[in-house]
Chain A
Amino acid sequence: MRFQSLRHAATLCFVAAFIAAPAAAKTISVKAGTPDANEKLQEALILAEPGDTVELGAGVWKLTDGLSLDVDNVTVRGAGTKDGAGSILDFSGQQGAGEGLLVTSDDVFLTNFAVLNTKGDGIKSKGANRIVYHQLRVEWTAGPKETNGAYGVYPVESSDVLIDSVYVRGASDAGIYVGQSKNIVVRDSIATENVAGIEIENSFDADVHDNIAAKNTGGILVFDLPNLPQQGGHNVRVFENIVSDNSTPNFAPKGNIVASVPTGTGVLVMANRNVEIFGNVFDQNGTANVMIVGYRYDHKDPNYQPLPKGIVVRGNQHGKAGYAPAFEGGAEIAAAMGGAIPPVLWDGAGDAVVLDEVGVLSLNLPDVKTSRDQAKPAPVTLKGTPPAALPEIKLPASMEAKVQ
């Protein structure tokens, strides 16, 4: 649809508001490459009504300002994610806004386009329930650089989140980051050359499966941090992922929590309770395939629980690991142990069950207030009876239907 005039479009809104049934869903097509493409696309995202699809034409969109969508039940669909044929939203010349695309409405479906080189985050959704990220590419095309934006895809404070078949590269914090949310599935996605590939933070009930997390600093992170509106992260399953060669030197701006992630980390659990790590294929993670730690920074939050509790590691395949432990004192420990530390590393805080037939190294620091230089590294056996298995995450049928 072309906009005849704003008054016409406004009249449509007016009519829609006064009839009981919603107006027939329509498709608003917007072309790339026009001088006013930024404004036209933003206009379409504002004038869309529930049920509508905003269709992004093929080509490169040179965008100077962040886009935003605040209408429920809108689909944003591009022509693909590949250079040359897809719908490429290029933010290299971005002058404003903290992200490329911001979604603040419910039941939104984002599919088949690419977001490149945003100054801040790539795509953020906040308070956007039942959002579906599908077949998207978010990339900083120069590869790992501290000046890249923080998060690639960034749903926060949302219930029911699906990230499916998304590719993210170059984020200076986390490629796929889900924060302070509930009921989450991240699957069939690729995160590469980010500081953190995939991060689930201060969130409840998440399945992270069938992803590839490779060549990041750390592959998959499950974190809980203090002083935030939602904390007490729990019930996260990380399974059947390929987590390999996470060897990119940490390029996060200092101060951010991921700046502390050692290069060569596969899966890292910090604080949280009831996290299951199973059926993954690990290889070439120089620090550890799986690391389980407490939150060891000062904080003044009486409601915060800094320990990892009820962490289960079972049925994973372990390739080479622990040959370049990139934490203080790691090299000395590796040398003392014949050149490598075991694939599973625990700081000794909280509790975990490790059923995989590999070694576990404990730093024996059960109190998170104890300084790391007090570590007494020693192999440990964490065989035991794990807590009852967590249930599979079920998303509303309306979400699954979108990606069928």
Chain B
Amino acid sequence: MKPVVAALAAALLFASGAGGVAPPAVDQALIDGDTMPPKLSAFGLFAGNDPARPVASFIYTLNTPLFSDYAAKHRFVSIPAGKKAEVADDGTIAFPVGTVIVKSFGWPDQNGGRPVETRLLIHRAKGWVALPYIWDADGRDASLAIAGRRVPVNFESPGGGAHRIQYGVPNKNQCKECHSRAGAIVPIGPKARNLVLPATMSADAKRRWFDRPEALKPAMPRWDDPASGSLQDRARAYLDVNCAHCHNPEGSASNSGLFLRWTDPVNVNYGIGKRPTAAGRGSGGMDFAIAPGEPDRSFLIYRLESTDPGIAMPELGRSTVHKEGAALLRQWIAEMPKASH
């Protein structure tokens, strides 16, 4: 896949409508409608259906992203002309009806660097709809896979090591399992505390798409950059992004009583000295999710380091162990004073 900068340049080029040629535009009627087109190209979200050329209001990255089998992800948002996203005081971003949030997943060694899948989160009048598309073998278009699929993927992880996995493209329901709040689908990535807009994005462009662009201050550190925050804050950022979409009182794991949002206090409901609720063999024979000072006696670590579906956390979206993420949490737990629970 082309670097983000190139994609950005393309997006800006299209936004300017250079050369008198009508700029490519998304099919807003299709986005606003009620259908699930079998081909991704129908939406017009990519110029020439080239994943490197998003037809974007803006592209974005996240300070701390969700781990998805070391996939590189490219994200952008399409907001209908004349509408704006509203940034609430608590940092949530309310995108207007007609918005599409687009996320493509790929690996440099796979499909010649083209994406393997592209997921859409579409804000329709009746609520958000999640649609997964898998790119066809010829790379020209992507096909709807509402029932999900296992796709063989080979790649090399950053720390070295070849991986051959059956990458799980989530089905429509599984999209909702993570993107769920009180039973309704919601975006989970773009929040003021984590969203990073391109440095080259002009103030005018920001004002065009956000009612209060000044409120977009990413408070969460980068999980893998010690200069960006303390060990605990980086661990908390990692847990927020990778776990808290389910582990919150309105999420899919509400019944666990384990709540891992950035804003949650680090106490028993954050896992400190918390006994398993419905972990089954996910407990790994241990008494506590987090045993301060003892990562090897903390089943939170045990579950992060497993790929067995009866043990592994998160339950979806991961076929490999994120060694670097687990190492961060190990260090965080190891440095907690033992007597604190």
Contact = CB atoms under 8 A, between A and B. Distances in A.
A2 interface: no
B171 A229 contact: no
Interface in B133-181: 144-150, 166, 168, 171-174, 176-177, 180
On chain B, which size bracket covers the interface? 35 or more
B309 A95 contact: yes
A11 B166 CA distance: 32
B275 A255 contact: yes
A68 B171 contact: yes
Contacts of A42: 147-148, 171, 173
B283 A255 contact: yes
Contact of A256 (B166, B268, B280): B280
Interface in B309-341: 309-310, 315-316, 319
Interface string A83-103: 000000000001111100010
Interface stretch (A20-28, A53-61, A119-127, A261-269): A119-127
Contacts of A98: 309-310, 315
Contact of A96 (B176, B255, B274, B309): B309
A105 B201 CA distance: 42
Interface residues of A, number: 63
Contacts of A40: 147
Interface stretch (A74-82, A144-152, A328-336, A371-379): A144-152
Interface string B246-278: 000100101101000000000111000111111
B36 interface: yes
Interface stretch (B73-81, B113-121, B284-292): B284-292
A10 B147 contact: no
Nearest to B277: A228
A253 interface: yes
A173 B147 contact: no
B212 interface: no
B249 A95 contact: no
Interface string B29-40: 000011111100
A349 interface: no
A46 B309 contact: no
B284 A253 contact: yes
Contacts of A149: 280-281, 310
B38 A5 contact: yes
A121 B281 contact: no
A301 B25 CA distance: 55
Interface in A96-136: 96-98, 102, 104, 118-121, 126-127
B166 A95 contact: yes
A94 B307 CA distance: 12
Contacts of A228: 255, 257, 277
Contact of B35 (A11, A151, A156): A11
Contacts of A47: 146
Contacts of B254: 157, 229
A11 B274 CA distance: 48
Contact of A300 (B268, B277, B285, B319): B268
Contacts of B267: 300
A157 B255 contact: yes
A229 B257 contact: yes
Contact of A229 (B35, B249, B310): B249
Nearest to B145: A39
A120 B280 contact: yes
A97 B147 contact: no
Interface string B178-189: 001001000000
B35 A256 contact: no
Interface in A286-312: 297-301
Nearest to A71: B173
A257 B277 CA distance: 8
A216 to B, nearest CB: 16
Given A6-B38, A95-B309, A121 B171 contact: no
23 contacts: A5-B38, A14-B35, A39-B148, A42-B148, A42-B171, A46-B173, A66-B309, A95-B319, A96-B316, A102-B173, A104-B180, A120-B315, A126-B255, A149-B310, A157-B254, A177-B278, A227-B257, A227-B268, A253-B282, A253-B283, A254-B283, A254-B286, A255-B283
Given A43-B146, A147-B281, 7 more contacts: A13-B34, A68-B171, A95-B168, A96-B309, A102-B177, A118-B310, A254-B285
Interface of B: 33-38, 126, 144-150, 166, 168, 171-174, 176-177, 180, 183, 249, 252, 254-255, 257, 267-269, 273-288, 299, 308-310, 315-316, 319
